[in-house]
Amino acid sequence: MSALKTVAIVGAGLVGSGWALVFARAGAAVRVYDADASLRARAPARIRQMLQDMQGAGLIADVEAPLSRITICDTLPEAVGAADYIQESVLERVDVKTAVCTEIDAAMRADAICGSSSSGIPASAFTEGLAKRNRFLVAHPVNPPHLVPLVELVPAPWTDAGILPQLRQAMEGWGQAPIVVNAEIEGFILNRLQGALLNEAWALYEAGLASAKDIDLTVSKGLGLRWAFMGPFETIDLNAPGGIADYSARLAPLYHNIAVSRANPQPWSQKAISSAETERRETLPADKLQERTDWRNRRLMALVAHLRAQPE
Amino acid sequence: MSALKTVAIVGAGLVGSGWALVFARAGAAVRVYDADASLRARAPARIRQMLQDMQGAGLIADVEAPLSRITICDTLPEAVGAADYIQESVLERVDVKTAVCTEIDAAMRADAICGSSSSGIPASAFTEGLAKRNRFLVAHPVNPPHLVPLVELVPAPWTDAGILPQLRQAMEGWGQAPIVVNAEIEGFILNRLQGALLNEAWALYEAGLASAKDIDLTVSKGLGLRWAFMGPFETIDLNAPGGIADYSARLAPLYHNIAVSRANPQPWSQKAISSAETERRETLPADKLQERTDWRNRRLMALVAHLRAQPE
């Protein structure tokens, strides 16, 4: 277990609730605050439901023990004051994050760490003026954090260097898969990789080269099978007899040609988006989106259970 | 079962052997030829081993029945003459493919179809001069085809239009996941999507933003979990309350910024390749590459078995 034993959650929406579950599952004492009293009131039932779904998928043995470690707090200082680690998960807007982090800054211990769930705004945009700004960074999860373990740790220029190895180890102890992003690049790593694939997918779709359904199949019945258990570098390392350098010698020119062919990037066009929207709504009517999202979450849980049972 | 009941394999290396297994598993009569007599002789033992591995992973019940449907032929006309469908899987070189397809063209029935396993060379580059060129196209598998079901069907400009729906249906009957690529674009769809992600991964790595290991984790513990059972368009369709159009309205500007930041694409640099090679060899020494490749294949089999048991 992590040396960070008491964790505060600030912002108890879907992401914050998922985080509360992650920390409580790993044995931490979790103190949850949200400025919205109705969200605070709903959080325990929401977290209970998530835990029950996970139990149903065979991912956890017990619902009550993790729940018993979660305390709902009526004020931010009450949640944050005793915390070794604070996970901020409020609305993705600079003014909102700045206001909340100012409150956290005033209430937190000088040796505590605050990670923001920001998916795109860098920590430097909302922590510059804080007294303890060297204790803040981004800890960007994938939604939902209790099912998809990746967390991007992105320091601001003033973040204490010692926080990165400490929080990396703590996140691993909590069952997450942290990575360190060495500078505040737009989109961090995950959304840049996703974006690169999405941009190519849209360009192919707009050129009429394949249907959205067939482009989806290319990933779900092709590329995605390996990527569920190994990354792109390991994939190519095992795809040539001599490893990654051998693979690169053979195929780097092809991939460079592909990049050059997209050197004049266009925004996703409204025409292509409308067309894909029509194609998707024929496959999945708008009133079935929630049902299909529930299916996705069940599939994710089953996949996580499968992956856990496999030898690394 | 497909109306294409007799299938010929021309080229019995790793890819051709995997194809033989695909067709035999689905009940087709399979006639295998390779110009190399030693490869012909080794093919049955190799296919038996693949079938036994699949049986071990719970993917097939019986090894002997599919094996009994495979006949090794000593000449190309003997394999091809009676075939409804021919899968060509010889070396990826225009001169080699041209020579072999000329032989196939002479021996095949006028109503047969020949799909090439070409991963990059378009059918128009090696079938233009053939008498039955309208019966040829690319049917590009992922390696190994008996574990990763995606097949890219890429017609030449002269391919009979009726072949696409017919072969698509047949491939589905054989248990594969065919897609149609509407024109001969470099890299087809799969390698273009993989290339877009690889190009971004290399650029991030070369800029020192993350280690190769952390970039790999971003996919294997993040993006890849969803992509093992749904494609990029369905992923974003379920990532905003209003579906794909709603998601695009929110995030297309971010992704366009990412594309613009890569509008001056550089080749994968030798320095970055050497550095990644060093990092990979520290994780996996060169003499363990084969062992890890065997691990990958076992993981793929287990993943395929898991995915098959899930509700679509």
| Planar angle of CA B282, B285, B291, nearest 5 degrees | 135
C-alpha–C-alpha distance, residues B149 and A225, integer Å? 10
Task: Summarize pLDDT for A281-290 with one digit per residue, the tens.
Answer: 999 999 999 9
Give Cα separations from A12 to A46, A90, B176 (angstroms): 10, 8, 44
Q: What is the mean pLDDT of residues B297-303?
A: 93
Which pLDDT score is estimated for A6? 98
Tell the residue number behind the tokens 């890849």, with chain if given.
B224
Nearest CB among A214, A233, A304 relative to B201 is that of A233
Task: Summarize pLDDT for B84-125 with one digit per residue, the tens.
Answer: 999 999 999 999 999 999 999 999 999 999 999 999 999 999
Domains, chain A, ranges and CATH?
6-180 (3.40.50.720), 190-308 (1.10.1040.10)
Exposed / middle / buried, residue A79 (Cβ in 10 Å: 0-12, 13-18, 19+): buried
C-alpha–C-alpha distance, residues A156 and A145, integer Å? 22
Which pLDDT score is estimated for B51? 95
In this structure, are residues B86 and B115 in contact, taking their beta carbons and an 8 Å threshold?
yes
Task: Say what the alpha-carbon torsion angle B257, B263, B264, B267 is, to the nearest 10 degrees.
Answer: 100
C-alpha–C-alpha distance, residues B291 and B42, integer Å? 21
Sign of the alpha-carbon dihedral angle for B286, B287, B288, B290: positive
In this structure, are residues A143 and A14 in contact, taking their beta carbons and an 8 Å threshold?
yes
Between helices A244-260 and B190-206, what is the axis angle to 10°? 110
For the cut 60, the answer to whether the pLDDT of residue B134 exceeds it is yes
Tokens describing residue B146: 């008996």
Q: What is the mean pLDDT of residues A218-242?
A: 95
Q: What is the mean pLDDT of residues B208-221?
A: 97
What is the phi/psi pair of residue A42, to 5°?
Answer: -85, -15
- Give residues 75 to 94 of B whose Cβ lies within 8 Å of A: none
Tokens describing residue B204: 């991030």
DSSP 8-class letter at B70: E
Which pLDDT score is estimated for B143? 86
| Probe site for chain A from B171, B179, B223, B254 (most A CB atoms < 10 A) | B223
In this structure, are residues A130 and A167 in contact, taking their beta carbons and an 8 Å threshold?
no
In this structure, are residues A119 and A130 in contact, taking their beta carbons and an 8 Å threshold?
no
C-alpha–C-alpha distance, residues B18 and B24, integer Å? 10
Which pLDDT score is estimated for B3? 82
Which pLDDT score is estimated for A46? 93
For the cut 60, the answer to whether the pLDDT of residue A105 exceeds it is yes
Give Cα separations from A210 to B16, B105, B289 (angstroms): 26, 29, 35
In this structure, are residues A292 and B229 in contact, taking their beta carbons and an 8 Å threshold?
no
In this structure, are residues A97 and A156 in contact, taking their beta carbons and an 8 Å threshold?
no
What's the helix, strand, coil split of chain A in %, to 5? Answer: 55, 10, 35
In this structure, are residues A179 and A153 in contact, taking their beta carbons and an 8 Å threshold?
yes
Exposed / middle / buried, residue B279 (Cβ in 10 Å: 0-12, 13-18, 19+): middle
A150-155 and A136-141 beta bridge pairing: antiparallel
| Probe site for chain B from A22, A91, A237 (most B CB atoms < 10 A) | A237
Nearest-CA distance A147 → chain B (Å): 9
Do B238 and A293 make contact, defined as CB atoms within 8 angstroms? yes
Of all residues in chain B, the percent with pLDDT exceeding 90 is: 93
State the CB neighbour count (10 A cutoff) for residue A175. 12
Those residues whose C-beta lies under 8 Å from the C-beta of residue B164, and which sit 6 or more positions away, are B137, B153, B155, B180
C-alpha–C-alpha distance, residues B243 and A293, integer Å? 11
Which pLDDT score is estimated for A3? 82
For the cut 60, the answer to whether the pLDDT of residue B261 exceeds it is yes
| Probe site for chain B from A118, A192, A306 (most B CB atoms < 10 A) | A192
Which pLDDT score is estimated for A111? 97
For the cut 70, the answer to whether the pLDDT of residue B2 exceeds it is no
C-alpha–C-alpha distance, residues A279 and A296, integer Å? 19
If phi > 0 it is left, if psi is from -120 to 50 it is alpha, else beta; for residue A208 that is left
The number of CA neighbours under 13 Å toward the Cβ of A111 is 6
Task: Summarize pLDDT for A18-53 with one digit per residue, the tens.
Answer: 999 999 999 999 999 999 999 999 999 999 999 999
Chain A residue closest in CA terms to B239: A293
Chain B residue closest in CA terms to A144: B222
SS3 of B158, please?
coil
Chain A residue closest in CA terms to B291: A238
DSSP 8-class letter at B155: E
Which pLDDT score is estimated for A2? 62
DSSP 8-class letter at B69: T
Which pLDDT score is estimated for A241? 87
Which amino acid would we find at residue B7? V
Q: Where does the pLDDT of residue A212 fall: very low under 50, low under 70, confident under 90, or very high at 90 and above? A: very high
What is the phi/psi pair of residue B145, to 5°?
Answer: -65, -20
Looking at beta carbons, which pairs linking B294-297 to residues 24 or more positions away fall under 8 Å?
A: B295/A311, B296/A226, B296/A230, B296/A238, B297/B53, B297/B144, B297/B147
State the CB neighbour count (10 A cutoff) for residue A8. 31
C-alpha–C-alpha distance, residues A31 and A116, integer Å? 16
